[in-house]
Amino acid sequence: MEKEIDELIRIELQADRAGDDLTTRMVVPEDMECSAVIKARQEGIISGQECAESVFTSMDRNISYSMTVRDGEKVKRPETVAEIRGMAAPVMAAERTALNFLGHLSGIATLSGAFTEKLRGTGIIVLDTRKTTPGLRQLEKKAVRDGGGGNHRMNLADYILVKENHIAAAGGLREVIRALGSRINEAEIEVDSTEMLEELLENPPGRIMLDNFSPEMVSGAVSVIGKLGENRPEIEVSGGITLENIHRYAIEGVDYISVGSLTASAPAFDLSMTVKGVG
Q: Could you say which of 12, 190, 207, 236 is catalytic?
A: 190
Candidate list 70, 163, 183, 276, residue with the active-site label: 163
CA 265 to CA 279: how far, in whole Å?
Answer: 41
Catalytic residue flag (residue 141): no
Q: Strands of 33-40's sheet, edge to edge?
A: 64-67, 80-87, 33-40, 271-278
Residues belonging to the chain: 279
Q: What is the DSSP string of 218-273?
A: HHHHHHHHHTTGGGPPEEEEESS--TTTHHHH--TT--EEE-THHHHSPPPP-EEE
- In the β-sheet with 125-127, what is the strand arrangement from edge to edge? 125-127, 256-258, 234-238, 207-211, 187-191, 160-162
Radius of gyration (C-alpha) of the chain in whole angstroms = 23
Catalytic residue among 74, 85, 130, 131: 131
Active site residue 163: yes
Which of 71, 140, 211, 236 does the annotation list as catalytic?
211
Beta 234-238 vs 256-258: how paired, if at all?
A: parallel
Known catalytic membership, residue 192: no
**Residue from 96, 130, 153, 174 carrying the catalytic annotation:** 96
CA 162/CA 211 separation, integer angstroms: 12
DSSP-derived secondary structure for 176-206: HHHHHGGGGGGEEEEE-SHHHHHHHTTS--S
Annotation says 131 is catalytic? yes
Catalytic residue at 211? yes
Please list the active-site residues: 96, 131, 163, 190, 211
